[in-house]
């Protein structure tokens, strides 16, 4: 079944076509949920925030002028809502890891790599939700553009060409952004896992 492009559905939805908006939700809910699940600890939180994102998108539809792909816009909204949520829990007294652990030099010096703490080390035995909690922190420490290219590649499985289109950059930029994003994420992650 051929379907309309997201941008066409958005245009219809802005004009009040609820069916069009509904179609957007159906089409993108799995992806929104997966994105949220890469940052949030619990599955029901991820579902809630994914829904929050669509509600927010509905109110912001008129602002979507098509500067970026709809999926990129959706990703950003989901991701920002998730980050807000974990920052709130942080403020309420959760243990703050030493900020230095999230940066490159310290972990590199201590010799812990993601492979050493996760594949060969105790990280593998952690519960999925624990891993997600650490992932959330690690992703939060990334810049928006690093976080989005990383999640869209690793969680959504987009090819470099698809990423280039979605993010409106050259393929070479995708490769280099992804390289840096992965490096930062892995350093942060191995730092957090190492600390446990």
Partner 1 sequence: MNCEQIQEHIGAYRDGELDTSTRASVEAELASCETCQAAYRELEALEALVERAVLEPAASVELTGFTDEVMARIAVETSVKSPAPERSHESLFDRLAAMLGLDARSLVMAGALAAAAIAWGVWPAAQVTSPTPEDVVRAAEGPSKSPANPSDKVAPRPRRGMELETASAGRNAASVQQVEVAHGRVVIDDNADDPDRPVVVWHIVGEEVDPKADVSP
Partner 2 sequence: MKTLALAITITLLLIPVASSAAEPERASFDVTVIDAKKTPGEVDPKLEHLKDVLQRSFKGYKSFRQVNRAKFSVIEGETHTTTLVASQELKVSLNPGGAKGFLKVRLVSGDLKTTIDVKDGGLFFQAVRGPKGAALVIAIRATRVVKSRAR
The pair of structure tokens assigned to 113 is 């790599």
Question: How far apart are CB 163 and partner 2 at their closest, in Å?
Answer: 11
Give, as ranges, the residues between 61 and 90 that touch partner 2 (CB under 8 A): 64, 66-71
Q: Considering the rule CB under 8 A, would residue 20 count as an interface residue with partner 2?
A: yes
Give, as ranges, the residues between 106 and 165 that touch partner 2 (CB under 8 A): 119, 156-159, 162, 165
Residue among 104 and 122 whose Cβ is closer to partner 2: 122
Question: How far apart are CB 17 and partner 1 at their closest, in Å?
Answer: 13
Helix, strand, coil percentages, rounded to 5, for the chain? 75, 0, 25
Q: Provide the mask over 175-194, with x wherever binding to partner 1 is found by CB under 8 A and - wherever it is not.
A: xx-xx--x--xx--x-----
Question: How far apart are CB 90 and partner 2 at their closest, in Å?
Answer: 29
Q: Considering the rule CB under 8 A, would residue 7 count as an interface residue with partner 2?
A: yes
SS (H, E, C) the chain: CCCCCHHHHHHHHHCCCHHHHHHHHHHHHHHHHHHHHCCCCCHHHHHHHHHHHHHHHHHHHHHCCCCCCHHHHHHHHHHHHHHHHHHHHHHCCCCCCCHHHHCHHHHHHHCCCHHHHHHCCHHHHCCHHHHHHHHHHHHHCCCHHHHHHHHHHHCCCCCHHHHHHHHCCCHHHHHHHHHHHHHHHHHHHHHHHHHC
Q: Considering the rule CB under 8 A, would residue 110 count as an interface residue with partner 1?
A: no
Q: Considering the rule CB under 8 A, would residue 173 count as an interface residue with partner 1?
A: no
Q: Contact 72/148 with Cβ under 8 angstroms?
A: yes
- Residues that bind partner 1 in the complex, under the rule CB under 8 A: 1, 18, 21-22, 25-26, 29-30, 33-34, 37-38, 43, 47, 50-51, 54-55, 58-59, 113-115, 118-119, 123, 128, 131-132, 135, 153-155, 159-160, 175-176, 178-179, 182, 185-186, 189
Binding site for partner 2 (CB under 8 A): 1-10, 12, 17-20, 22-23, 26-31, 34, 64, 66-71, 119, 156-159, 162, 165-166
């Amino acid at each position: 079944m051929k379907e309309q492009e997201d941008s066409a559905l958005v245009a219809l939805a802005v004009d009040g076509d609820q069916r069009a908006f509904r179609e957007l939700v159906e089409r993108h809910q799995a992806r929104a949920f997966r994105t949220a699940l890469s940052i949030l600890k619990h599955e029901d939180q991820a579902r809630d925030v994914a829904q929050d994102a669509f509600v927010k998108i509905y109110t912001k539809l008129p602002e979507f002028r098509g500067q970026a792909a709809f999926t990129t816009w959706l990703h950003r909204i989901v991701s920002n809502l998730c980050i807000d949520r974990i920052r709130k829990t942080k403020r309420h007294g959760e243990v703050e890891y030493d900020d230095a652990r999230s940066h490159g030099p310290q972990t590199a010096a201590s010799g812990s790599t993601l492979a050493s703490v996760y594949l060969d080390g105790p990280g593998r035995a952690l519960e999925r939700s624990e891993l997600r909690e650490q992932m959330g922190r690690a992703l939060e420490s990334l810049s928006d553009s690093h976080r989005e290219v990383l999640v869209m590649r690793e969680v959504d499985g987009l090819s470099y060409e698809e990423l280039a289109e979605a993010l409106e950059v050259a393929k070479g930029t995708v490769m280099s952004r992804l390289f840096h994003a992965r490096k930062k994420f892995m350093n942060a992650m191995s730092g957090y896992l190492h600390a446990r």
